[in-house]
Structure 1
Amino acid sequence: MQKRNLITKGLNLLYPCFFKLLFNVNQGQILSINSKIMKPIHEMKLHQKIKILYKLYPASIVEFTDYLKACAIETIEDREEAAETSGKCVVQQDYCVLLAMKTFDRIKQYGESFFYCRKLFTKQLFKGSISLFTVHTLLRYAETKYCSPKFALAVKLFIEI
């Protein structure tokens, strides 16, 4: 019995949804081994979407984190103004201030570690109740003039769906 001549090829550049494909050289067949197909966007969880945004736009994530910190400080300091604009927010004003305080504490605690560790960024800012404030701020950031048009489009496609 002959051994099958199989060659492992990584086609991440052509087909990013597959990790490995095996090609049978003799018969020209493609065997899928350990393949991982990307889920449709509407089936993805929030932290998965943010990980993709982080991979695609790392510079915009740094700018967004600065914007998030500034918004958290503004919300904490201007509680009266936040009470007037809380009609736009999903949650009550006091809870929004509490979320802003938690967000500021996490940004202060981890600092620049967010820029080096995608998992830390998504786990600390986009999981749990704090994600209400960060997603709201991300959507607001996408509408500002400081946000790059490509990143704004990606946020609208990934988050608003």
Structure 2
Amino acid sequence: MKTLEMMTNVEKAGVLFDLFPAEIPELLDAIQGMCQAVREDEDGHRRAWNNGFLNWNLWIALLSEAEGKIRRYKNKMAKNKRLFADQLFDGYVVIYTVHCLTSYAPTRQLANRKFTVAVDLLFNP
């Protein structure tokens, strides 16, 4: 097995899926919910945007990409590690997906607290 530092985001997502397959459907729902929340108040989010790394239009493009992939593949992603990891953790969309993942895990009262620990270990620097 590769060291954590040598793993790609796709590989890390695969490990997360392997360890916690029951958590994936709820995670996908949460990402969709985050997309919807931004869409419902896009002007408010745009005004509050203060990320110097990404401009708002790129953020919305990443959100749209994640949203479209989940809408298209959600049921299959919940059951297929490769599809889940390849679609949401490869390319630039990973920026949005990891944001959602690292926001979701510590703020929810998840039944499996180890999921939160694994997210922190795998995706927080």
CA contact (8 A) 1:76 1:100 kept: no
Query: In the alignment, which residue of structure 1 is the partner of 2:99?
Result: 136
More helix by share: 2
Q: Distance in 2 between the 1:150 and 1:126 partners?
A: 21
1:151 partner amino acid: F
Q: Deviation at 1:146?
A: 3.4
Structure index of larger Rg? 1
What is the TM-score with the length of structure 2 in the denominator? 0.89
More strand by share: 1
CA RMSD of aligned residues (A): 1.7
SS of alignment partner, residue 108 of structure 2: coil
> Which of residues 71, 83, 88 is equivalent to 2:46?
83
Cα–Cα, structure 1 residues 139 and 85, in superposed 2: closer, same or farther, change >3 Å? farther
Aligned residues: 124
For structure 2, the 5+ residue unaligned runs are: none
> Which of residues 108, 119, 122 is equivalent to 1:155?
119
Whether 2:44 is the aligned partner of 1:69: answer no
For structure 1, the 5+ residue unaligned runs are: 1-37
Q: Distance in 2 between the 1:110 and 1:116 partners?
A: 10
1:95 partner amino acid: L
Q: Distance in 2 between the 1:146 and 1:52 partners?
A: 22
Higher relative contact order (CA 8 A, sep 6+): 2
CA contact (8 A) 1:139 1:155 kept: yes
Q: Distance in 2 between the 1:121 and 1:89 partners?
A: 29
> Which of residues 9, 12, 20 is equivalent to 1:57?
20
